[in-house]
Each structure stands twice: as structure tokens, then as C-alpha cells.
Amino acid sequence: MEDDMYIDTHSHIYENEFLEDRAEVVERAREAGGGKIVLPDIDSESRGRMLDTAAAYPGMMFPLAGLHPTSVREDYREELAAVERELGARKYYGIGECGLDFYWDRTYWREQVKALEWQLGMAREAHLPVVIHSRDSLAEVFESLERYSGVQGILHCFPGGAEEARRAVGMGFLLGIGGVVTFKRSRMAETVREIGAEPLVLETDAPYLAPVPKRGKRNESSYIPIIAEKVAEIIGVEAKKIEEITTKNAMNLFNLHSENV
């Protein structure tokens, strides 16, 4: 059964934090019911590691192509040209992660907006979904999304409240829910309570943002059921239901139905 598994829609398992024991991490994910893992791109420095990892797990790992906002600098045009070349060179399942991060550094905010909109344009042209990263920038992200209406995707690690969630859903976006939902006084938990399960997908953002009780440790896809349990508890349904809905959403968005498990 295709929906009888979890999908981690956001993992950087190709990063060096997993250099020593990636095979065991993958095995634990499988044992925990994890069938598929989506790999968001960061930049040209990390892309080779991502592609090597995806190639080692065909039918399980699915790479995206994109430029992360914290990697946007003076050379962002060259970086984006490389992303465009990649899209022509091999199969990618979406664009990202792209977006705006005004939390870490605002130096290149104009370039970040240009890079985001370039990638939204690519997504529109290639008929691919986008994975959006937004930190201290949700209003500005919405402005860009309005300019590229029709492009669909995930607002990863969704930072907004219920009203913003409804706006995102109205624009054809899914909400990426991860370990933050398990944190005390998390806004994400309130948003999930208000919005319900239908527009959600699950994600780790591994190696970051591990859920309670693993908080502070390296995150990995085998913790997805912890997140699903928490979402189920908040909404008041069985975890199995959360698994079904989020897996169906991810399969449809990334068009994974034709991919072998």
C-alpha cells in the first residue's frame, strides 16, 4: 500500500552529519515505517553530496534543485544558472529549498527576493512544486507567491498562525510540520489545532529541529512517527490517519506514484 508508510518531505540526510552512519539512519527510518525521503537542495557546494545520496537510494530518496536563501550572495545569478542547468540535466522532483531568511542575515535581502522569484518562475515553467523556507519573512514570501500564483508547494517548517495557514492553503500550499510542533508553547501546535490535518505534510529538517524527547540531538527520519503522534494528539485522531493524509499529500505534490518503493 502506497499510503502505508511515512514520507519525510524535508531531510538533509546527505549532509556530513550523516557521513559515518547514513546506512544505519536509513535502516532505522525504514523500520519506523518511513518509505520515502525528499532531499531539498542548498547550493552548488552541497549538491554533489545530495545527488550521490539520492543515487544510492533509488525509489526512496528524491532530490530537489534550488538555492537556499542563506546561500544567496553576490554570486546568486551564477548559482541560479547552475540550478537551471541541473534541471535540464537530470530528474528533479521540485524546486527548493528557496525562500527568504531575514533572521540570520538581512544583508542580501534584495538578492534573496530576486532569487526566490527566479525559482518561482522556474517552478512555473517546469511545472514543478516548490519547497519554501521562510524565517522572519512570511509577509514578504506571500507577496512573492502572489506574483507567481498557480505555483504550488510546501511552506516548510510553517511559521505562521491559523489565518496565514488558511491563506497559504488558499494559494495551493501545504504546510510542512516538523519537530517544532512538539516544543512547549509552540505556535505550530496552535496552528495545527485550528487548521486540521488535511493540508499537512510531515518533515524532519534533519539534522536540525529534532522533536521532543530527542530535542537538541541530531534529527533523523525515524523520528517522523513522533511528529505524527503529536499532530494526531493535537487534532484528536489516530496517528494512522495522519500518516494516510500526509503521505497522500506528499505523493501527489511530488508526483511519486510512478516511483518504485
Under the rule (CB under 5 A), what is the footprint of Zn ion? 40
- Comparing CB distances to Zn ion, the nearer of 157 and 232 is 157
Kindly state the smallest distance separating residue 169's Cβ from Zn ion, in Å. 21
- Comparing CB distances to Zn ion, the nearer of 116 and 234 is 116
- Comparing CB distances to Zn ion, the nearer of 102 and 235 is 102
- What is the layout of strands, in order, in the sheet containing 200-202? 95-101, 130-135, 153-156, 173-177, 200-202
- CA dihedral sign of residues 34, 38, 41, 46: positive
Kindly state the smallest distance separating residue 133's Cβ from Zn ion, in Å. 6
Contact between residue 176 and residue 130 where contact means Cβ atoms under 8 Å apart: no
Contact between residue 69 and residue 116 where contact means Cβ atoms under 8 Å apart: yes
Kindly state the smallest distance separating residue 10's Cβ from Zn ion, in Å. 6
**How far is CA 242 from its chain centroid?**
17
Kindly state the smallest distance separating residue 222's Cβ from Zn ion, in Å. 18
Kindly state the smallest distance separating residue 64's Cβ from Zn ion, in Å. 10
- Comparing CB distances to Zn ion, the nearer of 34 and 40 is 40
CA distances for 50 relative to 10, 202, 234, angstroms = 12, 20, 34
- Comparing CB distances to Zn ion, the nearer of 168 and 234 is 168
Rounded CA separation 259/138 (Å): 33
